């Protein structure tokens, strides 16, 4: 099972930057009303057991409820907003991002340093 941590407060972005100094942090931005986003989420959940990312913290952002946080993420990490979108944060920076059906945990694993 994917160890989702809810991302519901903008203050958590400061924690994510700090945590990313110690371990990879993954943010998945999901639109609960979009079938493509639901398919990407399901794909992530199926890939998780074999991804080799057990040390990573995995945050889940509900875009419909917390759109301002998504905007902060785009600004803070210098990435264009997309949905669905997955970001890998390490050392306080976005080291990898992908969207839609291009989201693959194997690519994230390769990007982890």
CATH number at residue 73: 3.40.30.10
What's the confidence (pLDDT) of residue 22?
Answer: 97
Neighbours of 53 (CB within 10 A): 21
What's the confidence (pLDDT) of residue 3?
Answer: 82
Strand partners, 99: 85
Residue with tokens 């609960």, as numbered in its chain: 32
- CA 62, CA 30: separation in Å to the nearest integer? 5
The pTM (predicted TM-score) of the whole model is 0.94
- Cβ within 8 Å of residue 74, ≥6 positions away: 80, 81
What's the confidence (pLDDT) of residue 1?
Answer: 63
Domain count across the chain:
1
pLDDT tens track, the chain, 113 positions:
668 999 999 999 999 999 999 999 999 999 989 999 999 999 999 999 999 998 999 999 999 999 999 999 999 999 998 899 999 999 999 999 999 888 999 999 999 97
What's the confidence (pLDDT) of residue 2?
Answer: 67
What's the confidence (pLDDT) of residue 113?
Answer: 79
Q: Can you read off the two tokens belonging to residue 37?
A: 């986003």
Domain with 82 in it: 4-111
């Amino acid at each position: 099972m994917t160890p989702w941590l809810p991302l519901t407060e903008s203050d958590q972005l400061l924690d994510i930057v700090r945590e990313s100094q110690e371990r990879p942090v993954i943010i998945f931005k999901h639109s609960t009303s979009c079938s493509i986003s639901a398919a990407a989420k399901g794909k992530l959940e199926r890939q998780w057991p074999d991804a080799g990312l057990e040390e990573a913290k995995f945050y889940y952002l509900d875009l419909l409820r917390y759109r301002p946080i998504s905007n902060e993420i785009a600004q803070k990490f210098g990435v264009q907003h997309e949905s669905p979108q997955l970001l890998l944060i390490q050392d306080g920076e976005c080291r990898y991002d992908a969207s839609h059906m291009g989201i693959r945990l194997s690519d994230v694993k390769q990007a982890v340093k």
